[in-house]
Each structure stands twice: as C-alpha cells, then as structure tokens.
Amino acid sequence: MCGIVGYIGNRNAQEIIIGGLSKLEYRGYDSAGIAVLTDQGLSVAKAKGRLAVLEERLEKQPLHGNAGIGHTRWATHGKPSDENAHPHTDESGKFVVIHNGIIENFLSIKEELLAKGYKFQSETDTEVIAHLLADLYEGDIVTTVRKAVQRMRGAYALGIMTEHEPDKLVAVRLASPLVVGAGEGECFIGSDIPAMLEHTRDVYILNEGEMAVLTRDGVELLEAESGAKIERELFHVDWDLVQAEKGGYDSFMLKEIYEQPQAVRDTMGSRIDTDNKRVQLPELKMSDAQLAAYDRIYIVACGTSMHAGLVGKDVIEKITRVPVEVAVASEFRYRDPIYTDKTLMIVISQSGETADTLAALREAKKSNVTVLAITNVVGSSVAREADEVIFTWAGPEIAVASTKAYTSQVVALYLFALYFAQVKGTQTAEQIAEIVEQLQELPAKITAILGNVDRIRDFANSIKEVTSLFFIGRSLDYAVSLEGSLKLKEISYIHSEAYAAGELKHGTLALIEDNVPVIALATQPDIYEKMVSNIVEVKARGARVLGFALEGNDDLAKTVDEVIHVPATIPFLTPVLTVIPLQLLAYYASVARGLDVDKPRNLAKSVTVE
C-alpha cells in the first residue's frame, strides 16, 4: 500500500532512502520514517505528516551510515502519529522493521509476547514483528526471519535489519509487492520500481513467498518457507519515471483496477477468523448486545459510495432481516429523518472528507444517533467524528474514477452484514462459514477476470462513436449497473443511463432504436427468467446487447449479441465480480476516444464542497 525503501552499500543511506521515498509520494501516506545503521547502532527518525517534516528533523540531526530502511505509511492499525509511523523496533532497539500489508493474527502473537514481558510503544501490527524477531533470534537473522514468517498470517512486504548482523538487509514478500535492485557494490529494496530507478535499472521482482538477502556484494534469493535458493535473471527496466510510478501501466486507473485483488484481500485481512470461518470486527467499540439491538439502518453516501451502499442494503436485509434505507447524502442532510434509539447510520466516503456525507453525519450526531463510518483514510474527518469506523484498507487511489475503493467498500459492507448476522443470530454458523469461504475466493476470481480482457476491450472500441448507451439489470445487478453507467459517463463522456430492467415499459423503451448499445447484467438466479424477458424487449426494438452471466450459463448467448462470463459465486457476492469488466469497459472506451483517463473534465477526487 505505501512506500518501502532500503539501501545497503557504501554511500549515504539517508540521502538515498529519502530520495527513494520522495519518488513514492504519489502513492499517498500520512507519516514517514527512516532507520540507519550508524557507528552507534540502529538510529530511527520518524514523523507524522509529509516527508518534508521528516527531512526537517533530519537536517538538524542527520543519521550517518551506509545501510538503512525507510517507509511512508498509510495508516491501518492505529491513527497517524509519530509513535505509529514506521520503522518499528523491538524493545532493545536491535531489530528494525518496515512493513506494507496486514498481519492477520497479530493480536494472538502480541498477547504471547506481552505474557513474556515485552513492552509495546505503538498500536500497529508491525511492531509485533520486531518483537517476534527479537524473541526468535539465535544468531542468524535469515533463519529468524523464516521462523517469524511461518508464525504470521496475512499479506506483507517486509524490510528487516539488525545490529547483530549489520552487513545484511532482509526482504520478504507475501501478497504485497516488493522489488530488489542490484548495483555496483550496493543493493536496494522498494515497494515500487521508482524508488530505485535513479540508481539502478537492474531488478528482481519478488514472487509470492520469496525472500531476498541483500549485502554490499549482491543479492541472494530464497524460498521463505524452505530456505531453498532461487536462481533468476535480473530484469532490466526501460520505463521512464512517469511510467514507473504507474507500475508500467498506462494510467493510474488501470493500475488501480489491477490492484483490486490485493485491496479486497487487505480489507478482509484480520477480520476473518480463518480457523472458524467467522467474521471478527475488533475495531468496533460497541458491544455485541448494543449492535444486535439496532432494528433500522440508514446508509448515507454520495456517488460511487452510494452505489456500494445499495449493494450493502440488499445483503444486510437478506441475512439479518433488518430494514435498510440508502440515501444520497446531499438530499438526506436536508430531510427530517425519523430516528429512534435503535437506529444506526452507516456513512461511506472514500476520502472521509466528502462534504455532504460529513454534514449528514453531524446532523445524525445532533440527534444522538450512533454513526458507523466506512472510509479509506485514517485520520479523515469522517473517521474522527464517527462513533465507529471500519477502514477499507484499499491503499491510496490516485485516479478520479474510483475502482478499488468501491470494491473495498462493498467487501467492508459484506463483513459488517455477516458480523451483524452473527450477533443477531439470524444465520447459522454453517451458513456464515459458507459465505466466508466464498468471500475468501473473491481475490482469485477477480484476478481471473483481469486475465481475460480482450473481448471487453473490443466492445469498448466498437462503442467509441456512440452518443448514448444503456445499462439494465434487476436486483443487485441493477445496483451494479448504476456504478457501471457512472464509470462510463465520467471518463468517456458517453451519455449513459442505468435502469431497473423491469421499468423498461414505463418510458425507457422509447429510447431504444436500431444499434443502440445495451449492457445487460443477468447474474441473479431468482429473477433470471424475468431479466431474459427484458433483454428480449430491447432486442425486439433493435438494440445491440452485451450480456453478463455467470460461468456455466450458456443460455444467455442465445438471446444477446455478445456475452461475457464472470466466475460463479453465491448471488449476493456477484457485484464485486461483475463491476470489474464494467470498470474496464469504461477505461477502454475512454482510451479509444483519446481522453485523459485519470483526470476527467470538471471532476475532482474528493468532493469537499456542497
């Protein structure tokens, strides 16, 4: 999610690390820090805020040495603060760690270490790693890291150093990107290639479950679990710096679309008890009894976040039988809503600064309504002012058109719905376990969709000259249609509307004529036959229909002009999968029309005014 930089060689480590971190500022962060092996041992400097704050401190007290690690943090566990900033050390200050990702079982490891007398200074899961290394160390840092990795569950990229072996820098990757660079008499690590591009273009891109041991003499690659050596040729980077910031993708939006498997995985993170197939939300301060007492929910949001709320409404109502109303924040704030002491409000905002959503939150608080926020930004206004917060952990999103923030919001709503059902007892343990298993399969299924985009790209190229396009769907497919339509219009500028397919006869059919493109989602089994009837209606009036169905459904191809299949899952999880090709459709349509995908006209990333 955030910036990792490490260096070992013969030059000034501080200068190289700070320079590398500056190349990763585009990723977004809320604090920064650096650790350098000096003549006096490991020295750490870190600060909340922009990198400039840290640089100002280092001007007064520079760290002199030729090996070190640095980090820019996007807060997950613990608010943005000096204490929570990386790097983290053990109690003795002999081991230091930087970390991207989430350690799912950090609480159980922390409790074990607390029982042994270790003292913690931060709220992070990362500090647990530093203490665990100190506890396991028996004279070999590589063996110690391998033992520690076997104890940890989750997703992570790690940079590790110890005073005991100052000639080594160890890096480990599991489901979070990490790159190793090789130079003459020096080596580098980075969470992305731009961090080291100024110094070397020869890199190893670590694969899942691999680790690297860096010295001044070179790099040794190992399997983290077995310790077996890996032989691999260096990859020579020929991108320019702008391309490198985008990870080789043509735009930030495309990069963020492809980051969705990781964003979904991170949002689930430690919130799933993998042993018992249940959901746990340790961040909630309210008791289970308090949560179970709520009998009505308002979901309030804007734009894409509101569309995520529509999916959440359907799922919460289905598995808890609690009524949910979804409202556009800009309208809701001027209503006189009916609250009781059993009303819960859920506000959703990617940035946590959306003006109308924030205003609705404040109005609810005036009426003593409990507010639960779902947001991507720790320390944001929404996060600070809400009573409860579930962070999405999607990582920084640069493109104006939201992609991974949306899917992460939907997953966060799934987790809340499942937890709510657990405490209310409206689903059996077996039913919860089945849903959790399917939820855990979503990242792999998203990856499968992203591996086969040619037909979506071809369809996008075929519509680049159209003036209007329509999306239709029923039930959850209608909610996803709204998001697909919004994506298309905001970055391709093609006029697009989404309609509940059952409403076609109530006026919309007047707009259907020969060769008008219609995107039809048909993934919900309970209303599938009715959806096919609606597709037949638009086909009879000359529409060109691109249909979406679940894998295994061969019937829809008989009705539509073209069909795209998405991996099968339980019906109410399909929105996370069906939205992916719709995002790609919008992206490729914008590219085909020669537009700026990341910065559509008249739009801003965070809407901080009414």
Residues forming the active site: 2, 605
Rounded-to-integer distance, Cα 550 and Cα 558, Å: 15
* Closest C-alpha among 367, 358, 476, 483 to residue 417: 476
CB atoms within 10 A of CB 588: 22
* DSSP E strand boundaries for 106-177: 154-162, 169-174
> Residue for token digits 């990333």?
605
Tokens for 133, please give them.
């290394």
Residues 6+ apart with CB under 8 A from 69: 4, 5, 6, 7, 17, 34, 35, 87, 96, 98, 159, 160, 161, 169, 189
Tokens for 391, please give them.
């962070």
Give DSSP secondary structure letters for 473-529. ESTHHHHHHHHHHHHHHHHH--EEEEEEGGGGGGTGGGG--TT-EEEEE---GGGHH
Sheet holding 187-190, edge to edge: 41-48, 31-38, 67-73, 3-8, 187-190, 179-182, 202-205, 235-236
Burial of 337: CB neighbours in 10 Å, binned 0-12, 13-18, 19+: middle
Q: Is 598 helix (H, G, I), strand (E, B) or coil?
A: coil
Alpha helices in 541-573 (DSSP H): none
Burial of 156: CB neighbours in 10 Å, binned 0-12, 13-18, 19+: buried
Rounded-to-integer distance, Cα 80 and Cα 47, Å: 9
Rounded-to-integer distance, Cα 275 and Cα 70, Å: 34
Tokens for 201, please give them.
């273009």
Residues 6+ apart with CB under 8 A from 484: 471, 498, 519, 521, 579, 582, 583, 585, 586
Alpha helices in 5-45 (DSSP H): 13-22
Rounded-to-integer distance, Cα 312 and Cα 246, Å: 31
